[in-house]
Amino acid sequence: MPQANMNGKLAGKVAVVTGASRGIGEAIAARFAMDGAKVIVSARTLNEGDHSLEGSINGVVKNIREAGGEATAVRCDLSNEEDRKNLIAEANRIYGPVDILVNNAAVTFFIPVQDFPERRYRLMQEVQVYSPFHLSQIVMPSMRERGAGWIVNVSSGAARHPKPDSGGRGGTVYGMCKAALERFTTGLASEVYQDNIAVNVISPGLVATPGTVFHNLVSGETHERETPVEHMAEACFKLVSEDPKTLTGRIDYAYDMMDEFKLTAQELPLQPLSRPNG
């Protein structure tokens, strides 16, 4: 098992990662912890079996701690305003002011616009657009006061404009949420540049996670086109380990960052992923 370096580049930093019970969020939380960050691992799934998908925040924390890292699980339903406030309050109480915020959580439904229920539309907007906005509002005053901070929003290729004949599979609402998140990111980056706060977007490409397996986005046939989840974590680590004014206002893909900065993915203590064969 890999061992954490508590004197690494993120030593002393407090990080909050949402949607971290599995997949990309789990990998990001683990990567930060491996380089010394004290990580608040947040999601709705506290224990294995609480959700239909594999993974839990307690499982993520257990693996990080067994590798010598520091992490604490804080359950949070990001569709709930009081939960969002409590998440940051708990981070402050347990570890201190937040240096790094990663907005990774998502609630996704693939339904054509004609049939999309208002309740699910509002839920996706709340979790994927307003929640990153609100959490950023909460952490920014302390970042400004201390003269540094890093905010990373996780997006998707779905934010790109599809061609009319591309044959969409009900991803319009998901794509519009991610497009809004990207515009929020670049706008906020310009607002807080002088405050030494970096705000960036990172997208994974096609990554095998419990979520993508569930939505049939990956299979045995897609394996050669997939981006390892460790690459996503490494790219995200790069964005939060440099001077805030050096890397900010970017909309990047993990595979592009791996090439641009000649990054090498680190081994991470991750929960096992079951995926289809074939």
Question: How does residue 131 score in pLDDT terms, banded at 50, 70 and 90?
Answer: very high
Question: How does residue 273 score in pLDDT terms, banded at 50, 70 and 90?
Answer: low
Residue 60, domain extent: 14-260
Q: What is the pLDDT of residue 208?
A: 47
Cα 113 to Cα 159, 173, 175: the distances in Å are: 16, 7, 12
Q: What is the pLDDT of residue 219?
A: 42
Q: What is the pLDDT of residue 207?
A: 61
Q: What is the pLDDT of residue 206?
A: 61
Ranking 158-162, 173-177, 178-182 by mean pLDDT, the lowest is 158-162
Q: Is residue 275 part of a domain?
A: no
Q: Is residue 54 part of a domain?
A: yes
Q: Is residue 213 part of a domain?
A: yes
Q: What is the pLDDT of residue 255?
A: 93
Question: How does residue 214 score in pLDDT terms, banded at 50, 70 and 90?
Answer: very low
Q: What is the pLDDT of residue 89?
A: 98
Q: How does strand 197-203 pair with strand 251-253?
A: parallel
Q: Residues, the chain, total?
A: 278
Mean pLDDT, the chain, rounded, equals 90
Question: How does residue 48 score in pLDDT terms, banded at 50, 70 and 90?
Answer: confident
d(CA 271, CA 278): 22
Q: What is the pLDDT of residue 226?
A: 61
Ranking 2-16, 129-143, 223-237, 243-257 by mean pLDDT, the lowest is 223-237
Ranking 6-10, 51-55, 117-121 by mean pLDDT, the lowest is 51-55
Domain count, the chain: 1
Q: Is residue 100 part of a domain?
A: yes
Of 211, 16, 32, whose CA–CA distance to 100 is shortest? 16
CA atoms within a 13 Å half-sphere pointing along the CA-CB vector of 64 = 31
Q: Residue range 270-275: average pLDDT?
A: 68
| CB-based contacts of 214, cutoff 8 Å, min separation 6 | 52, 53
Q: What is the pLDDT of residue 223?
A: 42
State both tokens at 121.
Answer: 């539309």
State both tokens at 271.
Answer: 């929960």
Q: Is residue 176 part of a domain?
A: yes
State both tokens at 238.
Answer: 């790069």
Per-residue pLDDT at 167 exceeds 80: no
The total of other beta-carbon atoms located within 10 Å of residue 150's CB is: 27
- From 95, 130, 174, 253, active-site residue: 174
174 labelled catalytic: yes
State both tokens at 178.
Answer: 């991610």
Per-residue pLDDT at 275 exceeds 50: no
Q: Is residue 3 part of a domain?
A: no
Q: Is residue 270 part of a domain?
A: no
Q: Is residue 5 part of a domain?
A: no
Ranking 22-36, 203-217, 241-255 by mean pLDDT, the lowest is 203-217
Question: How does residue 278 score in pLDDT terms, banded at 50, 70 and 90?
Answer: very low
Instruction: Please indicate, yes or no, whether the overall pTM of this predicted structure exceeds 0.85.
Output: yes
Q: What is the CATH number of the domain that holds 48?
A: 3.40.50.720
